[in-house]
């Protein structure tokens, strides 16, 4: 009987990424007792090759995945975000495993072509927000007086890969969030999260939800940068830290001491639009920022906020709070680093093209890694196609396995 050593954390990772319970896996394999749990908790277990084949088939991962040592270790406690109370332990575990999986994919690419070095500073949580934001701009090479035209690109140039999660994941087929959640503008209900991956946990990584709102997408990237810069320690993100990350986001996008000169004498929702468009920050975040920086008084802030969330935008039928003036002025930003590196390392520009490289990742998981990425510019000068936010591709696993064997 031939056996191979199987890594317990890989078994767990594959199961969690498929959103399967141990019970379901055991039922499928006809296993008894706590075998699945024992397998997952052990460092390695010697499994019969035929049994590994069946496990791999049940979890729809190549066998190589289970015999390859994991590199990135991310626990739910390593995630920089404040999960809404309704977030289950299972959901957090999924987000952690997803980040660890992306992390190992990045490690594999980094060994072929070095990723951009990490330039993002790690600061003490007590650092003033203005100083922290200024330092990050300095690392990005962007002057205080200049708007940041494409923040996602700047984050990636600072060594922070950005992954977009589609509402319907390719690898699980499940809808990951309720569309109602998507209505939240400023009170974060997990629009994204950040963590660190890689062998030494020193590669920052950001995972953000695909959103049709350019304001929200940009602001979420800025907010996650705030967490990465200010909250590097391993502890649950507090309400105060959420506020800090949000203040950082606004200050990074629109430095208060620079925009002070541009704020209209009597700010209204409409006369703030030019400021919004110039600096790329939502009016909702902007008025909060102006109030926090003492550039408008509390009374004016309350009035503007009330208008924003009660007046209806006649073009969309939603309140201005949901679709603000200027909501359609830009396309949501999209990351590019991962697609760029996939092309650089494997000459591939899609998950399907990666299958010929015998990677240990299933195609649909790779599709999740690559979701929403901008194609590399060298390929075409045509405008990027809009990412598909909906719909799942059904992967024929047998075909996939046969291709791999071929």
- Give the integer Cα–Cα distance in Å for 149 and 326: 16
What residues are paired with 165 via a beta bridge? 209
Q: Which is nearer to Zn ion, 237 or 259 (CB)?
A: 237
The rounded Cα 139 to chain-centroid distance in angstroms is: 21
* Secondary structure (H, E, C), 263-281: CCCCCCCCCCHHHHHHHCC
**Window of 180-188, 203-211, 261-269, 320-328 that interacts with Zn ion by CB under 5 A:** 180-188
- Give the integer Cα–Cα distance in Å for 98 and 188: 20
- Give the integer Cα–Cα distance in Å for 225 and 314: 34
Interface size with Zn ion, residues (CB under 5 A) = 4
**Window of 90-98, 236-244, 283-291, 338-346 that interacts with Zn ion by CB under 5 A:** 236-244
Q: Which is nearer to Zn ion, 31 or 81 (CB)?
A: 81
**Window of 175-183, 184-192, 308-316, 331-339 that interacts with Zn ion by CB under 5 A:** 184-192
Host H or E run for residue 309: helix 298-310
Q: Which is nearer to Zn ion, 239 or 390 (CB)?
A: 239
Residues 237-276 touching Zn ion, rule: CB under 5 A, are 242, 245
**Window of 48-56, 185-193, 265-273, 309-317 that interacts with Zn ion by CB under 5 A:** 185-193
Nearest distance in Å: CB 348, Zn ion:
33
Q: Which is nearer to Zn ion, 81 or 105 (CB)?
A: 81
DSSP-assigned letters across all residues of 234-256:
SSPPPHHHHHHHHHHHHHHHS-H
Binding mask 64-103 for Zn ion (x = CB under 5 A): -----------------x----------------------
Residues 160-179 touching Zn ion, rule: CB under 5 A, are none
DSSP-assigned letters across all residues of 105-156:
HHHHHHHHSPPPPP------TTS-HHHHHHHHHHHHT--TTS--S-HHHHHH
- Give the integer Cα–Cα distance in Å for 145 and 31: 63
Residues 303-322 touching Zn ion, rule: CB under 5 A, are none
Binding mask 26-65 for Zn ion (x = CB under 5 A): ----------------------------------------
Q: Which is nearer to Zn ion, 188 or 364 (CB)?
A: 188
Interface residues with Zn ion (CB under 5 A) are: 81, 188, 242, 245
């Amino acid at each position: 009987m031939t056996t191979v050593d199987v890594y317990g954390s890989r078994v767990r990772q594959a199961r969690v990424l498929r959103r399967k319970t141990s019970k379901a896996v055991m039922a499928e394999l006809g296993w008894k007792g706590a075998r699945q749990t024992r397998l997952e908790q052990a460092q390695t277990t010697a499994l019969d090759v035929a049994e590994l084949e069946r496990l791999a088939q049940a979890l729809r991962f190549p066998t190589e995945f289970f015999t390859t040592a994991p590199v990135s270790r991310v626990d739910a406690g390593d995630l920089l975000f404040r999960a809404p109370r309704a977030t289950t332990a299972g959901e957090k575990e999924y987000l952690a495993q997803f980040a660890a999986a992306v992390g190992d994919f990045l490690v594999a690419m980094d060994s072929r072509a070095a990723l951009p070095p990490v330039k993002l500073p790690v600061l003490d949580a007590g650092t003033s927000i203005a100083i922290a934001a200024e330092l990050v701009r300095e690392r990005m090479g962007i002057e205080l007086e200049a708007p940041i035209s494409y923040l996602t690109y700047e984050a990636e140039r600072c060594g922070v890969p950005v992954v977009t999660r589609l509402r319907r994941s390719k690898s699980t087929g499940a809808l990951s969030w309720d569309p109602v959640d998507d209505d939240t503008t400023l009170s974060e209900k997990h629009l994204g999260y950040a963590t660190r991956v890689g062998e030494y946990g020193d590669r920052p990584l950001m995972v953000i939800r695909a959103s049709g709102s350019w304001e929200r997408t940009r602001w979420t990237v800025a907010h996650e940068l705030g967490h990465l810069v200010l909250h590097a320690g391993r502890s649950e993100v507090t309400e105060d830290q959420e506020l800090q990350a949000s203040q950082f986001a606004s200050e990074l996008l629109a430095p208060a001491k620079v925009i002070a000169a541009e704020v209209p004498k009597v700010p209204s929702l409409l006369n703030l639009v030019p400021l919004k468009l110039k600096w790329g920050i939502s009016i909702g975040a902007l008025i909060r920022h102006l109030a926090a920086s003492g550039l408008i008084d509390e009374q004016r802030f309350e009035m503007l906020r009330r208008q924003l969330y009660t007046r209806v935008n006649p073009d969309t039928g939603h309140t201005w709070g949901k679709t603000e003036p200027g909501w359609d002025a830009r396309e949501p930003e999209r990351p590019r680093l991962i697609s760029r590196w996939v092309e650089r390392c494997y000459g591939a520009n899609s998950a399907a093209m990666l299958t010929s490289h015998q990677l240990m990742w299933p195609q649909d998981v790779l599709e999740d890694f690559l979701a929403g990425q901008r194609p590399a510019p060298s390929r075409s000068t045509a405008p990027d196609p809009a990412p598909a936010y909906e719909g799942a591709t059904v992967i024929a696993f047998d075909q996939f396995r046969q291709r791999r064997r071929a």
